[in-house]
Structure 1
Protein backbone atom coordinates (compact mmCIF):
# COMPACT_ATOMS: atom_id res chain seq x y z
CA UNK A 1 0.00 0.00 0.00
CA UNK A 2 1.13 3.54 -0.70
CA UNK A 3 -0.29 6.61 1.04
CA UNK A 4 -0.06 9.93 -0.70
CA UNK A 5 0.43 13.01 1.46
CA UNK A 6 -0.45 16.36 -0.08
CA UNK A 7 0.53 19.54 1.72
CA UNK A 8 -1.24 22.58 0.33
CA UNK A 9 -0.47 26.23 0.75
CA UNK A 10 -3.90 27.77 0.36
CA UNK A 11 -5.32 31.27 0.22
CA UNK A 12 -6.57 31.86 3.79
CA UNK A 13 -9.35 34.06 2.41
CA UNK A 14 -10.64 31.14 0.33
CA UNK A 15 -11.03 28.41 2.94
CA UNK A 16 -14.61 27.67 1.89
CA UNK A 17 -13.54 27.27 -1.73
CA UNK A 18 -10.69 24.93 -0.79
CA UNK A 19 -12.98 22.88 1.45
CA UNK A 20 -15.40 22.53 -1.46
CA UNK A 21 -12.50 21.43 -3.67
CA UNK A 22 -11.59 18.75 -1.13
CA UNK A 23 -15.16 17.50 -0.99
CA UNK A 24 -15.09 17.15 -4.78
CA UNK A 25 -12.00 14.91 -4.69
CA UNK A 26 -12.88 12.51 -1.88
CA UNK A 27 -15.50 10.53 -3.86
CA UNK A 28 -13.41 10.75 -7.04
CA UNK A 29 -10.38 9.10 -5.45
CA UNK A 30 -12.62 6.44 -3.90
CA UNK A 31 -14.38 5.80 -7.22
CA UNK A 32 -11.07 5.44 -9.02
CA UNK A 33 -9.65 2.70 -6.78
CA UNK A 34 -8.15 4.61 -3.88
CA UNK A 35 -9.20 5.22 -0.33
CA UNK A 36 -9.37 8.85 0.70
CA UNK A 37 -8.57 9.57 4.35
CA UNK A 38 -9.80 13.16 4.19
CA UNK A 39 -8.70 16.73 3.93
CA UNK A 40 -7.43 18.52 7.01
CA UNK A 41 -8.17 22.22 7.18
CA UNK A 42 -6.30 24.86 9.20
CA UNK A 43 -7.47 25.15 12.78
CA UNK A 44 -4.79 26.42 15.16
CA UNK A 45 -1.44 27.69 13.98
CA UNK A 46 -0.85 28.51 10.33
CA UNK A 47 -4.04 29.61 8.56
CA UNK A 48 -2.80 28.78 5.07
CA UNK A 49 -1.76 25.12 5.31
CA UNK A 50 -4.08 22.19 4.57
CA UNK A 51 -3.36 18.49 4.15
CA UNK A 52 -4.87 15.54 2.32
CA UNK A 53 -4.12 11.84 2.71
CA UNK A 54 -5.25 9.00 0.48
CA UNK A 55 -4.03 5.49 -0.27
CA UNK A 56 -3.82 3.12 -3.19
CA UNK A 57 -2.99 -0.59 -3.09
CA UNK A 58 0.23 -0.01 -5.09
CA UNK A 59 2.20 2.81 -6.65
CA UNK A 60 1.18 1.41 -10.05
CA UNK A 61 -2.50 1.75 -9.08
CA UNK A 62 -1.86 5.35 -8.06
CA UNK A 63 -0.16 6.07 -11.39
CA UNK A 64 -3.14 4.52 -13.19
CA UNK A 65 -5.46 6.84 -11.23
CA UNK A 66 -3.29 9.86 -12.13
CA UNK A 67 -3.45 8.95 -15.79
CA UNK A 68 -7.21 8.30 -15.73
CA UNK A 69 -7.86 11.59 -13.93
CA UNK A 70 -6.50 13.46 -16.94
CA UNK A 71 -9.46 12.33 -19.07
CA UNK A 72 -12.18 11.88 -16.45
CA UNK A 73 -14.80 14.64 -16.79
CA UNK A 74 -15.45 14.98 -13.03
CA UNK A 75 -11.73 15.14 -12.24
CA UNK A 76 -11.20 17.76 -14.90
CA UNK A 77 -14.08 19.80 -13.45
CA UNK A 78 -12.43 19.65 -10.01
CA UNK A 79 -9.10 20.79 -11.47
CA UNK A 80 -10.90 23.68 -13.22
CA UNK A 81 -12.66 24.66 -9.98
CA UNK A 82 -9.29 25.06 -8.23
CA UNK A 83 -7.95 27.08 -11.16
CA UNK A 84 -11.05 29.27 -11.35
CA UNK A 85 -11.17 30.01 -7.60
CA UNK A 86 -7.38 30.20 -7.17
CA UNK A 87 -7.80 28.72 -3.69
CA UNK A 88 -4.53 26.74 -3.97
CA UNK A 89 -1.28 28.71 -3.97
CA UNK A 90 0.99 25.65 -4.20
CA UNK A 91 1.27 22.04 -3.10
CA UNK A 92 3.79 19.29 -2.54
CA UNK A 93 3.27 15.55 -2.81
CA UNK A 94 5.05 12.80 -0.85
CA UNK A 95 4.60 9.05 -0.74
CA UNK A 96 4.58 6.87 2.36
CA UNK A 97 4.25 3.23 3.26
CA UNK A 98 1.86 3.03 6.21
CA UNK A 99 2.59 0.85 9.21
CA UNK A 100 -0.74 -0.47 10.44
CA UNK A 101 -1.74 -2.89 13.14
CA UNK A 102 -1.23 -6.39 11.80
CA UNK A 103 0.89 -5.27 8.84
CA UNK A 104 4.24 -6.87 8.20
CA UNK A 105 7.42 -5.89 6.42
CA UNK A 106 6.64 -8.66 3.88
CA UNK A 107 4.09 -6.30 2.31
CA UNK A 108 6.67 -3.53 1.83
CA UNK A 109 7.52 -2.57 -1.73
Structure 2
Protein backbone atom coordinates (compact mmCIF):
# COMPACT_ATOMS: atom_id res chain seq x y z
CA UNK A 1 0.00 0.00 0.00
CA UNK A 2 1.26 3.48 -0.86
CA UNK A 3 -0.18 6.87 0.08
CA UNK A 4 0.42 9.86 -2.14
CA UNK A 5 0.83 13.16 -0.29
CA UNK A 6 0.37 16.27 -2.41
CA UNK A 7 1.32 19.66 -1.01
CA UNK A 8 -0.02 22.51 -3.10
CA UNK A 9 0.90 26.16 -3.10
CA UNK A 10 -2.32 27.81 -4.17
CA UNK A 11 -3.50 31.31 -4.94
CA UNK A 12 -5.37 32.22 -1.73
CA UNK A 13 -7.69 34.45 -3.77
CA UNK A 14 -8.77 31.41 -5.80
CA UNK A 15 -9.62 29.10 -2.92
CA UNK A 16 -13.12 28.46 -4.31
CA UNK A 17 -11.61 27.38 -7.63
CA UNK A 18 -9.12 25.09 -5.92
CA UNK A 19 -11.89 23.53 -3.83
CA UNK A 20 -13.83 22.81 -7.03
CA UNK A 21 -10.69 21.25 -8.53
CA UNK A 22 -10.47 18.94 -5.51
CA UNK A 23 -14.09 17.87 -5.86
CA UNK A 24 -13.35 16.91 -9.47
CA UNK A 25 -10.43 14.63 -8.54
CA UNK A 26 -11.86 12.73 -5.56
CA UNK A 27 -14.24 10.53 -7.60
CA UNK A 28 -11.68 10.15 -10.38
CA UNK A 29 -9.06 8.67 -8.05
CA UNK A 30 -11.71 6.35 -6.63
CA UNK A 31 -12.82 5.28 -10.10
CA UNK A 32 -9.24 4.30 -10.97
CA UNK A 33 -8.87 2.08 -7.91
CA UNK A 34 -7.50 4.48 -5.32
CA UNK A 35 -8.93 5.55 -1.97
CA UNK A 36 -9.06 9.32 -1.64
CA UNK A 37 -8.67 10.69 1.89
CA UNK A 38 -9.66 14.21 0.93
CA UNK A 39 -8.30 17.65 0.20
CA UNK A 40 -7.33 19.82 3.14
CA UNK A 41 -7.75 23.55 2.64
CA UNK A 42 -6.18 26.40 4.59
CA UNK A 43 -7.91 27.23 7.85
CA UNK A 44 -5.43 28.68 10.33
CA UNK A 45 -1.83 29.53 9.54
CA UNK A 46 -0.61 29.72 5.95
CA UNK A 47 -3.36 30.80 3.56
CA UNK A 48 -1.66 29.44 0.45
CA UNK A 49 -1.00 25.78 1.36
CA UNK A 50 -3.42 22.92 0.69
CA UNK A 51 -2.94 19.16 0.94
CA UNK A 52 -4.38 16.02 -0.60
CA UNK A 53 -3.92 12.39 0.42
CA UNK A 54 -4.91 9.26 -1.45
CA UNK A 55 -3.88 5.62 -1.30
CA UNK A 56 -3.36 2.91 -3.89
CA UNK A 57 -2.71 -0.78 -3.24
CA UNK A 58 0.82 -0.42 -4.68
CA UNK A 59 3.11 2.01 -6.47
CA UNK A 60 2.48 0.01 -9.66
CA UNK A 61 -1.29 0.57 -9.24
CA UNK A 62 -0.65 4.29 -8.78
CA UNK A 63 1.51 4.38 -11.93
CA UNK A 64 -1.25 2.58 -13.84
CA UNK A 65 -3.73 5.23 -12.65
CA UNK A 66 -1.37 7.99 -13.81
CA UNK A 67 -1.06 6.43 -17.27
CA UNK A 68 -4.81 5.95 -17.62
CA UNK A 69 -5.55 9.47 -16.36
CA UNK A 70 -3.60 10.93 -19.28
CA UNK A 71 -6.09 9.32 -21.67
CA UNK A 72 -9.27 9.98 -19.68
CA UNK A 73 -11.48 12.88 -20.80
CA UNK A 74 -12.67 13.77 -17.25
CA UNK A 75 -9.11 13.79 -15.92
CA UNK A 76 -7.98 15.97 -18.79
CA UNK A 77 -10.87 18.36 -18.09
CA UNK A 78 -9.78 18.60 -14.42
CA UNK A 79 -6.18 19.34 -15.46
CA UNK A 80 -7.47 21.99 -17.90
CA UNK A 81 -9.65 23.58 -15.20
CA UNK A 82 -6.63 24.08 -12.92
CA UNK A 83 -4.63 25.50 -15.80
CA UNK A 84 -7.42 27.88 -16.87
CA UNK A 85 -8.14 29.15 -13.36
CA UNK A 86 -4.47 29.20 -12.32
CA UNK A 87 -5.55 28.27 -8.78
CA UNK A 88 -2.45 26.08 -8.31
CA UNK A 89 0.89 27.87 -8.25
CA UNK A 90 2.99 24.73 -7.68
CA UNK A 91 2.87 21.35 -5.99
CA UNK A 92 5.11 18.62 -4.69
CA UNK A 93 4.32 14.94 -4.52
CA UNK A 94 5.70 12.40 -2.04
CA UNK A 95 4.85 8.77 -1.31
CA UNK A 96 4.52 7.10 2.06
CA UNK A 97 3.67 3.65 3.29
CA UNK A 98 1.26 3.59 6.21
CA UNK A 99 1.99 1.81 9.47
CA UNK A 100 -1.00 0.54 11.41
CA UNK A 101 -1.32 -0.95 14.85
CA UNK A 102 -0.92 -4.71 14.69
CA UNK A 103 -2.52 -7.15 17.13
CA UNK A 104 -0.11 -8.12 19.87
CA UNK A 105 2.20 -5.15 19.29
CA UNK A 106 3.76 -3.78 22.47
CA UNK A 107 1.99 -0.73 23.82
CA UNK A 108 4.21 2.30 24.41
CA UNK A 109 3.10 4.46 27.34
CA UNK A 110 2.07 8.00 26.45
CA UNK A 111 4.05 10.87 27.93
* 1:23 matches 2:27: no
Please state whether the residue corresponding to 1:15 is helix, strand or coil: helix
Instruction: Classify the secondary structure of the residue corresponding to 2:101.
Output: coil
Q: Offset at 1:97? A: 0.3
Work out the CA distance in 1 between the residues paired with 2:35 and 2:25. Answer: 11
Query: Hey, what does 2:46 align to over in structure 1?
Result: 46
Q: Which residue of 1 aligns with 2:94?
A: 94
Residues 29-65 of structure 1, C-alpha deviations (whole Å, 9 max, x = no match): 0000000000000000000000000000000000000
Measured after TM superposition, the shift of residue 100 of structure 1 is 1.8
Rg comparison, structure with higher value:
2
Length-normalised TM-score, structure 1? 0.93
Q: 1:102 Cα deviation (Å)?
A: 3.2
Cα RMSD over matched residues? 1.0
SS at match of 1:47: coil
SS in 2 for 1:80: helix
Aligned to 2:64: 64
Deviations 1:54-90 (A, max 9, x none): 0000000000000000000000000000000000000
Unmatched 5+ stretches in structure 1: 104-109
Partner of 1:13: 13
Distance in 1 between the 2:84 and 2:29 partners?
A: 21
Aligned length: 103
Which consecutive segments of 4 or more residues in structure 1 shift more than 4 A? none
